[in-house]
Chain A
Amino acid sequence: MFKNLFLKSTAIFIGLFLLIFLAVPIFQVFYVSFLDQNGHFTFLNFYDFFQSALFIESFYNSFYVAAMSVVLASIFAIPLAYFTARFNFRGSVLIQSLGFIPLIMPPFVGAVAMKLLFGRNGSINLLLNDWFGFKIPFMEGLNGVIFVESIHYFPFILINLITSLNSIDRTMEESAQSLGSKGFRLFRRIVLPLSMPGYIAGASLVFLKVFDDLGTPLLLDVNNMLAPQAYLRISSIGINDPMGYVIGVILVLTSVSAVYVAKLALGGKDYSMLQKGGGGMIKRNFLPHQKYFAYFVVFFILFLVLSPHIALTLLSFGTIWSFSVLPDAYTFDHYKDVFENSVFIKNTLLYCSIAAFIDIVLAFFISYIVLRTKIIGRQLLDYVAMSALAIPGLVLGIGYLRTFYSFNLPWNDKPLASWWFMIVIILAVRRLPYALRACNAVLMQISKYLEESAESLGAQKTTIFRKILIPLMMGGLLAGFITSFSTATVELSATIMLVSTESDAPLAYAIYSYMQTAAGRGPGAGFGVIGVLIVAAGTYLSQLIIEKKYKQRGMDAKVD
């Protein structure tokens, strides 16, 4: 019974972790939404929500934007994923590494770069106006939000879909082929269903993220959506205004139901395959004309989704960039500023790698407990962890201050909330859902029989983890690590509440403080570029590790 004890205590440990670092801080803030003016329990605030035309309109807008973003993001992601997984294609590593970058949009400065490129008087519209005499409102209103969000978050679908496609058991396809299935039928009956867990994982992340996203609507000054309404109320009316939290509760509920719906969509089907790491789909060669077409599509999409980062780079080297297609002149000065303050970069590397490591460990165990055990309340772990996605960073940050400030650290008598490790924890909690969805998707594809046969041969749970699950899940774990790591590098809203000394501050904070002045744009962009480079290097490295793993296991077929 040791095995079960181990799992149960792990479940309890994770439950406690989520309770202390997620549920309690949120509760500290959220209970306000259920109080009336006398401090008694009430639902009146929720009644007010549904009475307000503005809130209803915001709810509708948020929903519309999130759904449309999933559609547009799928249009970006599916061709890229399919080309890399299906064909012998030189650009695969490029796609898998670069396709990731759009997730890393440094706060504030990313917005400025986007506006300089796509804005009403951005480079593209200035050129269009010169050449053809018209402008395209890329960044106006709800459609602008959909456009920016899709560029920003489509990698969620890309990564998860690629992972799913690469773990499709080749024998499935081969058997189907030997039974005479081919072409679209083969795609529809075999590839499409087997890649569903990855697609749904990615699509639900996009939906959730867009639904709760604050930065993009704020940058486009679209106020009539839920997240900005919550933020504006909390930060302008005050932290104790109930309506901000009512909106918060509604965001959380919607997010949890979205996860539930995604689960239903996958429910009742078995996505597992016996021969795990089966090399993915059979690789084909392009026909010559297909090749040019594929390259064209890939480069077009990559150019589109990476254009904000091209603009960011220009901004970091440019002197003055104002109402013009390109900066007036170029300089290295901004990077001098950046490297004089390299402590921010070091902090970011440290915090985000620890946080992402914590995330994959937790995510591994949570998905295992949810999918493989019958421990009571296991679904709850999943939902609670996912709800972190919907908690505004500001709220969680304040919750941390409230909950942890009164405890002192034993060794230096300073408040616990001001310890730098708390920044790591808050990053880990906020980015856990990403790692969790990635782990969940890969584990769903691994057949239970592999573990059961190992168990029947007398293997311990820990041995099974080490020898079977972890190697087979490597792709998903790495994808989870990278997603958590890279999105944590640009997290600002929660960390800004917790930073108590500048020497502890991460890179996103440096960008924030530079972007408050006219002269800080260049260095701010420089920090942004450094952040992106770190993430790009990390992603590229993990790609290499995955490829190497495949080779080691004699799966060279995948790369040849």
Chain B
Amino acid sequence: MKKILILFISFFMFASNTLANSGNLVIVTSFPKDLSGKFKAAFESKYPNISVEVVGKKTTAGIKYIQETSSNNGTDLFWASAPDAFEVLKGDSLLAKYTSQVKGIPDLVGSYPINDPEGFYTGFAAAGYGMMWNTRYLKANNLPAPKEWIDMADPIYFGHTGMSAPSRSGTTHLTVETLLQGDGFNEGWGKMKSIAANFKTVTARSFGVPDGVNSGDFGVGIVIDFFGLSSIGSGFPVGFVYPTVTTLVPANIGVIANAPNEKNAQLFIDFLLTPEGQEILLDPKIRRLPVNPETYAKAPKDFPNPFKDSSIGAAVKFDVQLSKGRYNLVNSLFDVMITYRLDDLRAAMSAIYKAEEKLGNKNNAKAKKLIAEARALVAALPITEAKANDAEFNKIFKKKRKKAKDIEKYAGTRQAEVEAEWDKFVVDNYSNAIKKAEEALKAL
């Protein structure tokens, strides 16, 4: 017994000794080790006196961590992809202003401003959504690689595709929002649902999509470019393409308010933007788009360049304010209509596919009408565009604790209540769509 105790105590001492030397730049990041480690090493070799401590956390956990620890802040930098994560921190006054003096960075990438106009966070790389596919999978199933979003709504892909939920990943949210803004609210959702009907899965983690495509679990996934590009770089048998309608979004870094090592934090931001720092982004395991146009000269041949190829990310004029206003509502709507009711949606669409297949080129007005009605039922939304954009209604979906007096017009309405109503609407519509499709099948 005593021996065990002594063993434990000595363990204890050993461990606390190793902790004595803490770094003097602390970065909380959502980036994987492959990315953050490379930058840490390069920065430390340039500034040997500064030791960098990188703490990896999921974006949501990172935000939570910084919020919960703000009273006693020990973090210097927050470093992550999604601009909305920085908006949350900015909204809570947890970021400090800093504008880097490094030259040669343009104002826009695609149609999105690289830096926060108010100067609270800085973009250092860009990324856009596209489609990635497993070449072995497509060959085995005799499928072509898709080129545009709408290709993924083709019945041939039924059960072969995947995507992450926008509520799980800020960048997926931007893809959905881009679709809604590009095609209009109602048509955009209709398109989204017809794409979703082919999903094998809606993954809970954004990395679940490239994981699934890399393993060959499903054939085609909607992913952010660096997942696709770095999978190619790591040797997986996969391909990646940007569709015409996509938005390029900067990945960002920002100094935390009351940072213990503010000077070092600013030094690190400058380093990210220098040609040296930007080149690290081209590493085959990283593959993000640099924000410094000159860095592309050193990129591999097939590497996309948004500053030259104006077709990437320019098709939609992205309205940041509109997106921000209905952010949580769009997430919730997606989950209610697609994520949680994927089986129902798939069943409805597969009934429609069956009827359409039998219809072929026949001229059967009744069947055509029934199929159109079934499709309309699937596409129908439980909410109008006007209400979805209503700032008052959106207050119900705010992340912060809702107080009745903040909600005013809709006081007393609870998010769970609204969602239960939507759910009922959606489930009824999907099952009615099946009935219509079956009727159409009988009429043929």
Interface of A with B (CB < 8 Å)? Answer: 32, 36-39, 44-45, 48-49, 51-54, 112, 115-116, 119-122, 218, 221, 223-224, 228, 232, 235-243, 319-324, 343, 347, 350, 353-354, 357, 398, 401-402, 405-406, 408, 414-415, 417-418, 420, 496-497, 499-504, 509, 512-521
User: Which residues of the other chain, B, contact A319 by a CB distance below 8 angstroms?
Assistant: 235
* Prevailing SS type, chain A contact patch: helix
Contact A517 B403 (CB under 8 A): no
Q: Mark B93-136, 1 if CB is under 8 A from A, else 0.
A: 00000000000000000000000000000000000000000101
| Residue from the list A38, A112, A237, A240 in contact with B167, Cβ < 8 A | A237
Cβ contact of B403, chosen from A38, A53, A414, A415, cutoff 8 A:
A38
Bound Cα distance A120, B331 (Å): 29
Task: Give every chain A residue within 8 A of B339 (Cβ-Cβ).
Answer: 223
- CA gap between A324 and B411 in the complex, in Å: 56
Q: How far is the CA of A235 from the CA of B59 in the complex (A)?
A: 10
A415 to chain B, nearest CB (A): 5
Inter-chain contact B331/A405, CB cutoff 8 Å: no
Residues of B in contact, count (CB < 8 Å): 89
In the complex, the answer to whether B401 meets A240 with C-beta atoms within 8 Å is yes
Give chain B residues whose Cβ lies under 8 Å from the Cβ of A228: 204
User: Which A residues are CB-close (under 8 A) to B205?
Assistant: 218
Contacts of B444 in A (CB 8 A): none
CB distance from A14 to the nearest CB of B (A): 19
A52: which B residues are within 8 A, CB to CB?
416, 419-420, 423
| Assembly CA distance A497 to B67 (angstroms) | 12
Stretch at the interface among B48-56, B144-152, B189-197, B295-303: B48-56
Chain B residue contacts of A401, Cβ below 8 A: 64-65, 68-69
Knowing A38-B403, A112-B215 touch, does A323 contact B140 (C-beta < 8 A)? Answer: yes
Known contacts being A37-B414, A496-B57, is A223 close to B340, with CB within 8 Å? yes
Report Cα–Cα, A419/B68, bound state, in Å.
15
The docked-state distance in angstroms from the alpha carbon of A472 to that of B209 is: 51
Quick one: CB contact mask for B427-444 with A, threshold 8 Å, 1 for yes?
100000000000000000
| Contacts A322-B214, A517-B33 known; 8 new A-B pairs at CB < 8 A | A45-B414, A48-B414, A221-B208, A223-B202, A223-B339, A236-B335, A500-B55, A517-B34
B420 & A54 in contact (Cβ 8 Å cutoff):
yes
Would you call B55 and A499 a contact (CB within 8 A)? yes
Distance of A39 Cα from B400 Cα, bound (Å): 13
Whether, in the assembled complex, B203 has its beta carbon less than 8 Å from a beta carbon of chain A, the answer is: yes
In the complex, what distance in Å separates the CA atom of A401 from the CA atom of B72?
A: 11
Given the known A-B contacts A322-B136, A418-B74, A513-B33, are A503 and B19 also in contact in the complex, defined by CB atoms under 8 Å? yes
Q: Which residue of A414, A496, A497 contacts B74 across the interface (Cβ within 8 Å)?
A: A414
Contact yes or no, A235 B74, CB < 8 A = no
Chain B: CB-nearest residue to A400: B68
Is A415 a contact partner of B72 (Cβ separation < 8 A)?
Answer: yes
- Give the residues in chain A near B331, CB-CB below 8 Å: 236-237
Given known A237-B415, A415-B69, contact A520–B33 (CB-CB < 8 A): yes
Partner of B22, one of A218, A223, A501: A501
Closest-by-CB residue of A relative to B205 is A218
Known: A121-B137, A319-B235. Is A515-B207 also a contact (CB below 8 A)?
A: yes
In-complex Cβ contact of B72 among A49, A238, A406 (8 A): A406
A54 with B340, Cβ < 8 A, contacts A406-B72, A497-B64 known: yes
**Contact with A518, one of B136, B204, B236, B340 (Cβ below 8 angstroms):** B236
Please list the 3 inter-chain residue pairs (A to B) with the smallest Cβ-Cβ separation, ordered nearest first: A323-B216, A236-B167, A238-B399
CA distance A320 to B235 in the complex (A): 7
In the complex, the chain B residue whose C-beta lies closest to that of A343 is: B18
> Which residues of B are found within 8 Å of A37, using beta-carbon distances?
402-404, 407, 411-412, 414
Find chain A residues with CB under 8 A from B61 CB: 496-497
A453 to B26, CA, bound (A): 61
Asked if B8 is at the interface of the complex by the 8 Å CB criterion, the answer is yes
B19–A504 touching, CB < 8 Å: yes
Residue in contact with A53 in the complex, picked from B35, B137, B208, B423, CB distance below 8 Å: B423
Chain B nearest CB from A216 CB (Å) reads 12
Given A48-B420, A323-B140, A497-B61; A405-B34 close (CB under 8 Å):
no
Most chain-A CB neighbours within 10 Å: which of B23, B216, B417? B216
A500 to B216, CA, bound (A): 35
In the bound assembly, the distance between CA atoms of A93 and B7 in angstroms comes to 28
Kindly state whether residue B142 has any CB partner on chain A within 8 Å: no
A119-B217, A502-B54, A517-B32 known; A420+B19 contact, CB < 8 A: yes
Looking at the complex, which of B179-187, B226-234, B271-279, B314-322 is the stretch in contact with chain A? B226-234
Q: Give Cα A122–Cα B236 distance, bound, in whole angstroms.
A: 16
Cβ-defined contact, A514 with B33, below 8 A: yes
Contact B203 A519 (CB under 8 A): no
Residue from the set A236, A347, A514 with the largest chain B CB neighbour count within 10 Å: A236
